[in-house]
Chain A
Amino acid sequence: MSHPHPKSERVIDARGLEPPEPFVLTMDALDRLPRGEKLLLQLYREPFPLYKALANNGFRHEAEHLPDGTVEVLIWHAETS
């Protein structure tokens, strides 16, 4: 799942994966995400349901739309300590 990326070392490239695979991979990765580290999710759409779940579970996120249609969502624990 991971290849080097300037935003984060932990990258899930879910472009071209069929639901629910991106969801499952993201859940698994967040379960293991150490505080202070970030996870980068790449998709071809904005994952609105995920945003809600992230807020409910103490995560923060930042989304960026790239020119090629990719949406990059950077996720980290709201409390870093």
Chain B
Amino acid sequence: MQAVLSFDQAPPFAAPFRFFLTAPLFPLLAGLLLLIEGPPALASRWTPAMLALTHLIAVGFMLQAMLGAMIQILPVVAGANLPRPLLVARALHLLLVTGALALAAGFLGLFASAFPLAAVLLGTGVGGFALIAAFSLRGIPATSASIRSFRLALVGLCGLLVLGIMLAGGLSGLWRVPLIDLTRVHVNWALAGWGLALLSAVAYVVVPMFQITPAYPARFTRAFGPALLIAVLLASLAPLAADDVAELLQMPVIVLAAIFCGTTLWLQARSKRARPDATQKFWRLAMLAGLAAALLWAVARIVPPLAAWDGWPLLFGILVLVGGFMSVIIGMLYKIIPFLIWLHLQNRGKGRVIAPNMKAVLAESRMLRHLRLHLGACALLLAAVVWPAGLAHLAGLALMVASGYLFTNLLAAARLYRQHAARVDAVLAEAVHAVAKEGA
């Protein structure tokens, strides 16, 4: 038993967990918004409700979970220790949560200063974090592809933030910017320059480690990060080009995303695990959704009536955000949270009190039930784009139910952690008391 070794709990469990726990509340709000607004929200990607909904998911869920995970992963995967992790986490969390709400309020026109407020909150929080993370990675030798990719992802994070702030200022009338063109560039930096870059950095470690697959091919991990950044830069030039050239400039991002999804599925098919667990299934769903989105993009290029339909960008967005990023993040939360709880309890028990089995922290059956709810929400959201009048409200409700279920799962894990930690402390206090008595 582990009597000899004690573990330095850096970062403390509360640092990343606060992000994970509040993240599901944002797609819950997004679902509520769709439930209330109904079919008009789905008229195009540019409706206020749809823009608010998109950012509740992209900033409230995706960015929140990703930054929380980064606080945990940078020290573990790269050996890059953030200074004062709990303080950084608390400040970032507060700024991110309030910033995401202000941003949604801005799109919905709830109050006049919402956009500038969101820009200040998110600019300070996310920009500050990017600086701190870059500082912690300073001087770390790039011994793995993940470390190199973390740096590239931070470039993407800064890009998306600067573009987002420019857009927020433009939307609130502080300055004039070409809103539509800049939005397209912002989306590329957000989903590929940051989202996919970070996902790949993390995937290189967690897919082989938790899904017992071969490693990503070295040629792939060497080339993918830089190629993606170049592709995003090319796509950023698209607004300057004629329509047909613009599509060519957008293509490399789509092709690279498809290659990433295909490679990951290929590795998953070589997993040594006899039966895929919930994490693997969430990952597979995400990669298939990513491939479907790439295919949809390609078909829209070939079939002009599809490209002209206001619904196709919505289908694309749902596939990428809800089917892709949300699925993969949920899959990782279901692996990382039980592992962290086990690790921290094991350490707290100092070898005298054994931590509960990882599988007992969050039951597989609950994760699989959530997978079904999430899959149902994805399907209904897609169907609601095609038939808004009949399904918009129901799709909103389905997203609420799935996100609410994730929240209760995480809450149950947190409760187990607290209860077990209290038991550990009681047992250890009793042991100290007994020793003191013996001494007397």
Chain A residues with CB under 8 Å of chain B are 16, 18-20, 23-24, 27-28, 30-31, 44-46, 48-49, 51-53, 56-57, 65, 69
CB of A57 within 8 A of CB of B4, answer: yes
Bound-state CA distance A33–B369 (Å) is 44
Complex CA distance for A52 and B75, rounded to whole angstroms: 10
Report chain B residues within 8 Å CB of A48. Answer: 75-79
B3 cross-chain contacts in A, Cβ below 8 A: 31
Contact bitstring B328-342, A, C-beta under 8 A = 1, else 0: 000000000001001
Contacts of A16 in B (CB 8 A): 212, 272
Kindly list chain B residues whose C-beta atoms are within 8 Å of the C-beta of A27.
2, 4-5
Among candidates A23, A44, A65, residue contacting B215 with C-beta atoms closer than 8 Å: A44
- Whether B143 contacts A65 by the Cβ 8 Å rule is yes
Q: Mark B204-226, 1 if CB is under 8 A from A, else 0.
A: 01001110100100100000000
Q: Is the interface of A mostly helix, strand, loop or mixed?
A: helix
Which residue of B is nearest A32, CB measured?
B4
Number of interface residues of B (CB under 8 A): 29
**CB-CB nearest in chain B for A43:** B209
Contact B209 A19 (CB under 8 A): yes
| Residue contact B215 to A20, C-beta cutoff 8 Å | no
Distance in Å: Cβ of A19 to nearest Cβ of chain B? 6
Whether B210 and A53, one on each chain, are in contact in the complex, defined by CB atoms closer than 8 angstroms, is no
- If the complex has contacts A16-B212, A31-B1, are A56 and B79 also in contact, measured as CB distance less than 8 A? no
Which of B6-14, B109-117, B395-403 lines the interface with chain A?
B6-14
Least Cβ–Cβ distance between A43 and chain B, in angstroms: 9
Report the 7 A-B pairs with minimum CB-CB distance, sorted nearest first: A48-B79, A27-B2, A57-B5, A31-B4, A53-B7, A52-B8, A69-B215
Known: A27-B2, A46-B144. 4 other contacts (CB 8 A): A31-B1, A48-B75, A48-B77, A69-B215
Interface residues in B216-243 by Cβ distance below 8 A to A read: 218
| Chain A residue nearest to B80 in the complex (CB) | A48
* 25 A-B pairs with C-beta separation under 8 A: A16-B212, A16-B272, A18-B209, A19-B209, A20-B339, A20-B343, A20-B358, A24-B2, A27-B2, A27-B5, A31-B2, A44-B209, A44-B215, A45-B144, A45-B205, A46-B143, A48-B79, A49-B7, A52-B7, A53-B6, A53-B8, A56-B7, A57-B4, A57-B6, A69-B218
| B144 partner residues in chain A, CB cutoff 8 A | 45-46
Q: What distance in Å separates the Cβ of B400 from its nearest Cβ neighbour in chain A?
A: 33
Q: Which residues of A contact B76 (CB under 8 A)?
A: 48-49
By the criterion CB–CB under 8 Å, are A45 and B209 in contact? yes
Q: Are B6 and A19 in contact (CB under 8 A)?
A: no
Query: Shortest beta-carbon distance, A47 to chain B, in Å?
Result: 9
A residues in contact with B272, CB < 8 Å: 16
Cβ contacts under 8 Å, A44 to chain B: 208-209, 215
